[in-house]
Amino acid sequence: MAFLLITSFIWAFSFGLVKKYLGGVDANFVAFARLALALLLFLPLWKPRKTPPALALRLAGIGMVQYGLMYVFYIQSFRFLAAHQVALFTIFTPLYVTAADDFLEKRFQPRHLGTALLAVVGTAVIVYAGWASAGLLSGFLLVQASNACFAIGQVWYRRLPAATRQWKDRDIFAWLYLGGTAAAMLAMLLFSGPLDLRLPGEKWLVLLYLGLLASGVGFFLWNVGATRVEAGMLAVFNNAKVPLAVLVSLLFFGEHADWPRLLCGGGIMILAIWLNSRPDTSQSER
């Protein structure tokens, strides 16, 4: 649990940093750079020869989805949204975590559908006046695609066979960053034009922070922590970063928001996530 909490504090500053300092940098390059730096950080700990080929492919596949595709969608969303909006829209991640877990367990819980709809209502309260904006809708959908990728990767990693636990997480984690870097590089090659990498020093410093600390250390602590808690607790911690990131973006990075709508809609969304995380008593009584 401590790993998840520490990571939430680290990630709270990432949203504002991306928006303020990397807004003019190609999004696919930012995704690639963050994951490449994270990969470099874990290369000294990597023990590829001790990883069975099937497990290596599975880990790389998790990294492609949870990190590579997630970052491609996530960083693109900053073209359309303020940092606090991106942070707020990540509150849907626990709904995807429980949905993915339910799918793999071949079960359907109507309560989760109800809480998802309630979270949508909370979102609508916050951005009611801006839904007509194509940019806002595009940004919202990009964040949801990012959320889904991040949730699927977490659940997938948690469900690795127990036999794989004979290795320490740090010995195999570079496989995930390798897969994520490959996915981001492919997106950059396919969709980005010629890159101008003559960036000011402060932008490179932000990339170093995001790549080494937020992505490198943060994702490692998060996935290790995810294996040590139940799915419901993991879903709750997915949103510990949301109020922190919103406050950091508004107070430290000088963004503006409609506070009454933000508090009202945010309260509805938090209620939805709380209801989503509660145990299903109807199932336990049968």
pLDDT in tens, 2-20: 788 788 888 888 999 999 9
Mean pLDDT of 17-27: 91
Sign of CA dihedral 205, 209, 212, 216: negative
pTM of the shown model: 0.82
Task: Give the separation between CA 277 and CA 284, rounded to whole angstroms.
Answer: 15
Q: Which of 2-11, 115-124, 188-197, 221-230 has the lowest mean pLDDT?
A: 115-124
Query: Nearest CA to 240 among 212, 272, 280, 273?
Result: 273
Please give the pLDDT value at position 38: 94
Model confidence at 154: pLDDT above 70: yes
Residue 186 has what DSSP assignment? H
Model confidence at 170: pLDDT above 70: yes
Residue 285 within any structural domain of the chain: no
Please give the pLDDT value at position 108: 66
Please give the pLDDT value at position 234: 62
Residue 33 within any structural domain of the chain: yes
Mean pLDDT, all residues of the chain: 81
Bigger pLDDT: 50 or 108?
50
Residue 107 within any structural domain of the chain: yes
Residue 55 within any structural domain of the chain: yes
Residue 82 within any structural domain of the chain: yes
Q: Structurally, how many domains does the chain consist of?
A: 1
Please give the pLDDT value at position 286: 36
3-state secondary structure string across 35-48: HHHHHHHHHHHCCH
Task: Give the separation between CA 123 and CA 140, rounded to whole angstroms.
Answer: 10
**CA angle, 235 then 278 then 127, to 5°:** 60
Please give the pLDDT value at position 124: 65
Of the ranges 26-30, 43-47, 113-117, 282-286, the best mean pLDDT one: 26-30
Residue 53 exposure: Cα atoms within 13 Å on the Cβ side = 0
**In the structure, what pLDDT confidence band is assigned to residue 280 with cuts at 50, 70 and 90?**
low
Cβ neighbours for 236, distance < 8 A, ≥ 6 positions apart: 94, 273, 277
**In the structure, what pLDDT confidence band is assigned to residue 43 with cuts at 50, 70 and 90?**
very high
Bigger pLDDT: 18 or 250?
18
Q: Is 253 exposed, middle or buried (0-12, 13-18, 19+ CB in 10 A)?
A: middle
Query: Nearest CA to 38 among 67, 9, 10, 13?
Result: 67
Please give the pLDDT value at position 126: 62
Model confidence at 115: pLDDT above 80: no
Bigger pLDDT: 240 or 251?
251
Query: Nearest CA to 114 among 281, 264, 274, 286?
Result: 274
- Boundaries of domain holding 184: 2-278
Task: Give the separation between CA 212 and CA 72, rounded to whole angstroms.
Answer: 18
Model confidence at 74: pLDDT above 90: yes
Q: Of all residues in the chain, what percent carry a pLDDT higher than 90?
A: 34
